[in-house]
Amino acid sequence: MEIIIESIPRFLNASWVTIQITALSVFIGFCMAIPLSVIRVSAGKILSLPVYAFTFYFRGTPLLVQIFLIYYGSGQFQEQLQAVGLWHLFQSPWFCAVLSLTLNTAAYSTEIFRGGIQGVPSGEIEAARACGMSGVLLYRRIIIPRAIRIAWPSYTNEVIFLLQASSLVSIITVMDITGVAGEIATRSFAFYETYLFAAGLYLVIVYGVLWLFRRIERRLNAYLSAESA
Amino acid sequence: MLGLEGYGPLLLQGARLTVYVGVSSMAIAIFLGLIGMLCKLSASPVVRFFADIYTTVIRGIPELVLILLVYYGLPTLIQDITAALGYPVDISLNPFAAGVLTIGFIYGAFSTEVFRGAYLAVPRGQVEAARACGMSGPLTFRRILLPQMMRFALPGLGNVWMVLIKATALISVIQLPELMRSADIAAKNTRKPFTFFLAASLIYLGITIISNIVQQWAEKRAERGIRRA
C-alpha cells in the first residue's frame, strides 16, 4: 500500500500522458474524419473507394498490429525515411503512438460521421436547397452541424474506446498509466495493488470524459431543450 | 513476400490459436452475458446492483490492464491470502486460461447489455401466451424467449465478436503464441517487422471478412420466420 502512495505523483504524471495522447489523437482524428466522411458519401468512386479501403483496414485489424506496424515496421524503411528526413520521428515511441491512435480513431469516426450525414433528414437538405444553398455552403451550414449532433452519442463511445485503447502504447514503452503501473509492479512485486490502482484511475478518467461529452451534447442540442425540458 | 521466409506455417498456427482463443472467449462471454442479463432483470435490487457494477466497471477499464491484472495480479493475490492464512501455495496461471477467462469476462459485460436489449425487444404477449399454455418460467425462457431473443441479439453479438477477435491480439503480451506473438517472433528473427505485421494484419482482416459473411448468413437465417411487409 505504501508503494501506491509513494508513487502517486508518478501516476499523476502518467495520467497526464494518457490524457495528452488521447486528446491529441481525438482532435486530429476528428479533423480528418469530417472531410473523409463527406468524401465517403458524396464524392465519386475514385475518391470514396480509397477512403473506404482506409476505414476498412483500420477497423478490421487490431490496434496493436497497427502500432507495431508503424513503430517496428518503419525500421524496415529506415534508409528511405532517413532520405526524406522523417526517420527521427519514427524512432520516437510517442510519435508512433499518436500516429497510430490518430489513424485508428479517424477510421472509426469517419464511419460514425458517415452514418450521421446519412441520417440528416432530407427535408432539411431540400429546405436549404430551396434557400439557394449548395455545395460547400450546404455542407458547412446544414449537413455537417446536423450530422455531428446525430452522431454525437456514438462518437462519445468511440472516444471512450480510444481512451482505453491508449493503454496499448505502454507496450512500445510510452510511460502512460499502464506503462508506469507495469514498471512499478515488476519492481515492487505489488502486482494486484498497482494494476487495481491503474484500473481505478482509468475509471475516473473514463467517467470524467463521459461527463464532459454529455455536457457538450447538451450544449449542441440546446436549441431543442425548450421542448424537452 | 508470399513465402514469408519459411515463417508462413508459424503464422497460420498462430492464426489457428487466435481463432481458438476467440471462440472460447466468445462462449464464455455469451454464457456470462445470459447470466448477467438474468441478474439485471432480477426482482432483487441487490442482484441488480451487482450486475450493474459488473457492466459499468468492466466497460470502463482497458482490456490490457485487466489482462495484466488477472495474469500477474491474481496469482500474487491468492498467494498473499493463502500465506496470511498460514497455507502458502505457489500459483501461476496458464496464459491461455488467463487470456480466455479475462477476454470472456470483459465481453460478457458487453453481451449482457446486448441480451438485455434483446430480451426487452420480445413482445410481452409472447410470455403471457406461454404462461397461459401452462409453461413454467424456465420452459418459457428456453422455448419462447431464447429463440426470439437470439434474432434481436445477433447483430449486437456480431459486433461483440468483431471487437473480441481483435482484442485477442492483446494476449500476445502474456506470451501466448497466437497470431500476433507469432508475427512478433518471425519479425524479430528475420528483421522484417513490416512484412510480418502486415501479413498478420491481413490475416486478421480475413477473419473479419469471413465473420461478416457468417454474420449476414446467420441474421438472414434467424429471420426465416418473420414476414416482411
Contacts of A61 (CB under 8 A, 6+ apart): B166, B201, B204, B205, B208
The C-alpha cell 491461455 sits at B96
Which residues in chain B touch residue A202, judged by CB atoms under 8 angstroms apart?
A: 60-62, 65
Residue with cell 461529452: A213
Q: Are A109 and A29 in contact (CB under 8 A)?
A: yes
**pLDDT band at residue A229 using 50, 70 and 90 as cut-offs:** very low
CB pairs under 8 A between A and B: 125
What superfamily does domain A2-228 belong to in CATH?
A: MetI-like (1.10.3720.10)
Q: Which residues of B touch A (CB under 8 A)?
A: 57, 60-66, 68-69, 72-74, 76-77, 166-170, 172-173, 180, 183-184, 187, 191-195, 197-198, 200-201, 204-205, 208-209
Contact (Cβ atoms closer than 8 angstroms) between residue A18 and residue A166: yes
> Could you tell me the residue ranges of all domains in chain A?
2-228
Rounded distance between C-alpha atoms, residue B222 and residue B151, angstroms: 5
On chain A, the residues whose CB falls within 8 A of the CB of B63 are 164, 167
- Residue range B48-61, pLDDT digits in tens: 999 999 999 999 99
Q: Which residues of A touch B68 (CB under 8 A)?
A: 178, 181-182, 185, 191, 195
Q: Which residues of B touch A164 (CB under 8 A)?
A: 60-63
Task: Please write the tens of the pLDDT for every residue from A115-157.
Answer: 999 999 999 999 999 999 988 899 999 999 999 999 999 999 9
Domain positions in chain B: 18-176
Q: What is the sign, positive or negative, of the torsion defined by CA atoms of B41, B47, B52, B54? A: negative
Q: What is the pLDDT of residue A227?
A: 54
Confidence class for position A103, pLDDT limits 50, 70, 90: very high
How far B130 CA sits from the closest chain A CA (Å)?
A: 37
Homologous superfamily, domain B18-176:
MetI-like (1.10.3720.10)
Residue range A9-22, pLDDT digits in tens:
999 999 999 999 99
C-alpha cell at B120: 426487452
Find where cell 478518467 sits: A205
Q: What is the average per-residue pLDDT within A188-192?
A: 89
DSSP state of A74: G
Q: Looking at the predicted structure, is the pLDDT value of residue B5 above 80?
A: no
Percent with pLDDT over 90 in chain B: 69
- How big is chain B by its Cα radius of gyration, in Å? 21
Cell triple for A192: 494486484
In this model, does residue A225 exceed pLDDT 70? no
d(CA A99, CA A29): 10
Q: Are A202 and A180 in contact (CB under 8 A)?
A: no
Write the residue in A65, A164, A202 that is nearest to B201 by C-beta: A65
What ipTM was assigned to the predicted interfaces of this complex?
0.89
- Check B180 against A76: CB less than 8 A apart: no
Going by pLDDT thresholds of 50, 70 and 90, the confidence category of residue B202 is very high
Q: What's the pLDDT score for residue B229?
A: 60
Q: Which residue of B has its CA nearest to A56?
A: B205
Taking phi over 0 as left and psi of -120 to 50 as alpha, with beta for the rest, B200 belongs to alpha
Place of cell 502486482: A191
Mean pLDDT of chain A: 92
List chain B residues with CB under 8 Å of A72. Answer: 187, 193-194, 197
